[in-house]
Structure 1
Amino acid sequence: MTELHQAAAAGDLQGVQDILRQKKCNPNQRDIDWSHKTPLHWAAAKGDTETVRILIEHGARPSLRTEHGWTPAHFAAESGQLAVLRLLHYYHAPIDKEDCCGDKPVRMAQIYGHQDCVRFLKKAEIECQAYRKMAAEKGISLDDTDEEWADHGKENEARGSVTVTFR
């Protein structure tokens, strides 16, 4: 776990800002000991909107997934962090991606009884898909895919395994 992971997990906004300003850590570094979570995954789960915003503005990719396919939106939905979900949607983060079990963030919100998140995500999924379609038509580049996770998933699928591992 890097200093940035620790600061994000602890909700230490000042620490996150200092680390990013000094370029001490890559905001997209995956923590192999914690299911390949990035600092953004930690901040989203904690509901720390300001840290989420700072991380994204410093290059954190909301499309990156854990080894089980969870995006930051999955973590925010699981813990009922509506403000974080709204912020991720504002930044055109992929909030409609399925994890390795086929569950989207909206399903996580349903499982944990976060009805406000469910209502928001149902509407936001439609908007996310419409934006993705419009971007494709206009040639706008989107960062909505974790290539490394997708590649490893295909490799494991070909071998008959469903576990996703990273190098």
Structure 2
Amino acid sequence: MGCNTPWRSCSACGRASMGGRHFGSRRLPEECSMTELHEAVAVGDYDLVKKILRAGHCDPNQKDVDWHDRTPLHWAAAKGRSDLVRLLVDHGARHCLRSDVGWTAAHFAAEAGKLRVLRALHSLHAAMDAADLFGDTPRRLAEIYGHRECSKFLEKAEVESRNYRRKAALRKIPLDQRDEDWELKKEELQRNPPCFWEKCTVSIQKKNGKKKGKQ
């Protein structure tokens, strides 16, 4: 499961760094890369995030392969910054995008117990019941990490999310709740499972078997 600590201390100077690049100052580099947006969101610098987005040189949906395909929205959710979540979505960030294991922004918020972010994502019509690569939903993560308020909220949000999709389908309203690239990767994993896949599958089957036994 994902780590919520986006930075580490540089051995050379002690300043915060990500991926070998310092971002303790607010100075923008000569050429803006997506990494700067990831970093600005990770440290919670609202003004810098806004400046980068307004410049229009960075794709708010770029996935950082060095951090398990996290998007800036994933970082905002994990850090509990509902203001950055809304800012990013206002500038085109897609809340349906997933990490390498299928986590949405809602998964990251649920793991960290960030109720405000979950409420924000729900108000933006994000899918609150999406399952990751191993079948875990945001509510399941909230339960695992003992975030009772989040779990209680998500129990209701899941139902409302499904109802919203049904109404949208009836009214033929298009929704952006599918990460096409991740779905293709998922299919590839299912066709050519990695060495750990069998162990995970067995674990999931046992977990689901216990759930059925309790019912």
Give the TM bin, normalised by the shorter chain. over 0.9
Moved runs in structure 1, 4+ residues, more than 3 A? Answer: none
Superposition TM-score, scaled by structure 2 size: 0.74
1:126 matched to 2:155? The reply is no
**Partners of 2:65 and 2:139 in 1: how far apart?**
26
1:46 matched to 2:79? The reply is yes
User: Pick from 171, 181, 187: which aligns with 1:148?
Assistant: 181
Which residue matches 2:25? none
**Partners of 1:160 and 1:72 in 2: how far apart?**
25
Q: CA RMSD in A?
A: 1.0
1:86 matched to 2:119? The reply is yes
Structure 2 residue runs of 5 or longer lacking an equivalent are 1-33, 198-215
User: Pick from 54, 60, 63: which aligns with 1:21?
Assistant: 54
**Partners of 1:83 and 1:14 in 2: how far apart?**
20
Deviation at 1:24, TM superposition (A): 2.2
Deviations 1:20-65 (A, max 9, x none): 0001210000000000000000000000011000000000000000
- Partner SS for 2:113: coil
Which residue matches 1:32? 65
Which residue matches 1:99? 132
- Partner SS for 2:100: coil
**Partners of 2:155 and 2:38 in 1: how far apart?**
30
Number of matched pairs: 162
Q: Give me the identity figure in percent.
A: 53
2:172 partner amino acid? G
Deviation at 1:159, TM superposition (A): 2.4
Deviation at 1:95, TM superposition (A): 1.3
2:146 partner amino acid? G
Superposition TM-score, scaled by structure 1 size: 0.94
Deviation at 1:156, TM superposition (A): 2.1
2:117 partner amino acid? V
**Partners of 1:147 and 1:84 in 2: how far apart?**
24
Deviation at 1:117, TM superposition (A): 0.3
Deviation at 1:151, TM superposition (A): 1.1
- Identify which of structures 1 and 2 has the higher relative contact order when contacts are C-alpha pairs closer than 8 Å and 6+ apart: 1
1:12 matched to 2:12? The reply is no
**Partners of 2:88 and 2:115 in 1: how far apart?**
18
